[in-house]
Amino acid sequence: MLRKTFLYNYYLNKIFRAPDKIVIRWGMLVPVLILMGIGFITLKYTSLNSSFFTSTFTKQIVWFAIGSIVFILAQWIRIQYFQEYAYHFYGFLIILIGITYFMPVIGGSHRWLIIGNVSFQPSEIGKLLLVFVIARVLADQKGNMNEIKLLLLILVMALIPALMIFKQPDFGTAIVYGFIAIPMLYWSGIRSFYLFSVIAPFVSIISAFNIYFFSLWMGILVLVIYFNQPKITIGVSQFIINIGCGIISPFIWYNFLYSHQKERILTLLNPTRDPHGTGYQVIQSIIAIGSGGLWGKGVGEGTQTQLRYLPVRDTDFIVSVIGEEMGLLGITIILVVFFTLLYWIIVYAGIISNKFSSLTLIGFASILFIHLAVNMGMTVGLLPVTGLPAPFLSYGGSFLLSCMLIVALSTNIINHHI
């Protein structure tokens, strides 16, 4: 009866299908398990003081169990469903993010949809939906659209939810939304020079505050423009736009921003400015990592961690805990393992000829990559504190679920095509 329902139900058949074959992709699964293992060990020792049932360690195990079930169930999903309904999902996502503005503020921002006791963060699963819609648009192109128009279209599609999320405010997730499109555009064959042109003004704005850095950047800009030999008008206008951005941003900075706004942004860029606020966390994080040395202080032995000098050690700064207690060795394992995971996803993306599937894999890899890079960059003071967790390491149920779903759907896609 159930089998009959499943086989012949129109809607279920759209969403689910029997998997073509079950092949365990060890190159992707083993890294995930290693990362989870490191995460579990770390959480075990950061939650020593809380009781077993309420500790982050136990909760994370429960989420991992749920994630494993989701992982297996996801193998039955018919991936083309997301391609067919990508626009619907996209529209649905925009609406959901819109609704969050009418939801109560939790922790200083409204990112959550709250229905009864269940709260849900649409921007979390939205990352995947954005990948699908961009992959769909790019896959649909048969060379009948102007490259620049296509580029702008994709950027607008990414920036609409990105800006909405930025307004929630959730700076970190907004960055993820803004970033995803770039590797996918590159993968779809857009000329690198165009991508460069899109990114360049942002670099100009930031570099303008340091005259040496700005000069260096302008040099690079001129060289890139020269070697790509665009039309003279385009080359010159590009140069002018970047110079303009560079000049205008300090002008706005010094004339139109209130001091508290400046303070907030400066702390974002240089945490040592204010040792009591956000900067304090980064300083403690750097001390934790630096004091870990090559071998680390031993699991559960980190003074920065165990004596609570390190803030939010379960989530945002879990890499700092690993750096302190497992040393450069632990960090190296994370980097190698994570690189392996991304390496295989990219390899399969190169093999698969289906454009949508291939682009989706690249999008997924981008999500995982940007999270890890921003998170680790933040713990060592290379990037501002944005609150992006580290995939498979940080404590957090819904984020762990979406990370596992990403790997699950990747396996699904790979098994379907290869």
Partner 1 sequence: MPKYKKIQIVLAGIFAIIFLRFYYLQIYQHSKYEAKAGNNSIRKISLHAPRGIIYDRNGIPIVDNRQIYDLAVIPFDVTNQFDYQMVSKRTGVSSSELQEKIAKGKKSFHRFRPVPIKRHINFETRSHLEENKLSLPGTIFSEFPARTYPDKAKLTHVLGYLRVVSDMTASKPNQELDYKLGDVFGFSGIERMYESILRGRDGTEFRLVDIYGIDHGVYKDNPGIQPVPGKAVNLSIDSKLQALIEELFIGKKGAAICMMPKTGDVLAFVSAPDYDLNSFAGPVPLELWEGWNSDTEKPLINRGIQGLYPPGSTFKLIGAALANEEGKVDQNWTVNCNGVYHLGDRDFHCWNIAGHGTVNMERAILQSCNIYFYHLIQKLSFKNWKAMAEKFGFGATTGIDLFGEKRGLVPGKTYMNNKYGRYGWATGNLLTFIIGQGDILVTPLQVTQMMSIIATRGNTKTPHLLLDNPSENITVSLKSKTWDFLQQATWNVVNHENGTGKAAKVMGCEVHGKTGTAQNPHGENHSWFAGYIVKDNVPILSLAVLVEHGGKGSVEAALISHKIFKYAQKNISL
Residues that bind partner 1 (CB under 8 A): 183, 186-187, 275-276, 284, 286-294, 303-304, 306-309, 323-324, 327-328, 331-332, 335, 338-339, 342-343, 346-347, 349-350, 362, 369, 373, 376-377, 380, 382
CB of 415 to partner 1, least distance (A): 19
Count Cα atoms within 13 angstroms, Cβ side, for 160.
Answer: 17
The nearer residue to partner 1, 217 or 369, going by C-beta atoms, is 369
- If the CB atoms of residues 67 and 327 are measured against partner 1, the closer one turns out to be 327
Closer CB to partner 1, 150 or 322, in the complex: 322
- Residue 306 or 360 with smaller CB distance to partner 1: 306
Cβ neighbours of residue 363 closer than 8 Å, sequence gap 6 or more: 130, 131, 132, 134, 135, 180, 183, 184
Q: 314, 43 in Cβ contact below 8 A?
A: yes
Give least dist CB 119 to partner 1, A: 30
| Residue type at 46 in one-letter notation | T
User: Considering the complex, what minimum distance in angstroms separates the CB of residue 341 from partner 1?
Assistant: 11
Least Å from the CB of residue 136 to partner 1: 20
Tokens of 371: 């999270």
CA distance 59 to 66: 11
Give the CA distances from residue 408 to residues 119, 133, 236, in Å, rounded to whole numbers and listed in that order: 24, 19, 47
Determine the Cα–Cα distance for residues 127 and 125; give it in Å rounded to an integer: 5
Looking at the Cβ atoms of 150 and 245, the one nearer to partner 1 is 150
| Cβ atoms of 90 and 157 closer than 8 Å | yes
CB of 166 to partner 1, least distance (A): 24
Q: Cβ distance 135 to 356 under 8 Å?
A: yes
For partner 1, give the closer residue by CB, 96 or 406: 406
For residue 380, the minimal CB distance to partner 1 (Å) is 5
What angle do helix axes 355-379 and 122-140 make, rounded to 10 degrees? 140
Least Å distance between CB 396 and partner 1?
21
Residue (166 or 343) nearer to partner 1, CB: 343
C-alpha 325/C-alpha 293 separation (Å) is 9
Instruction: Give whichever of 71 and 317 is closer to partner 1, judged by the CB atom.
Output: 317
What angle do the packed helices 318-351 and 397-417 form, to 10 degrees? 20
Could you tell me the smallest distance in angstroms from the CB atom of residue 328 to partner 1? 4
Element spanning 93, H or E: helix 86-100
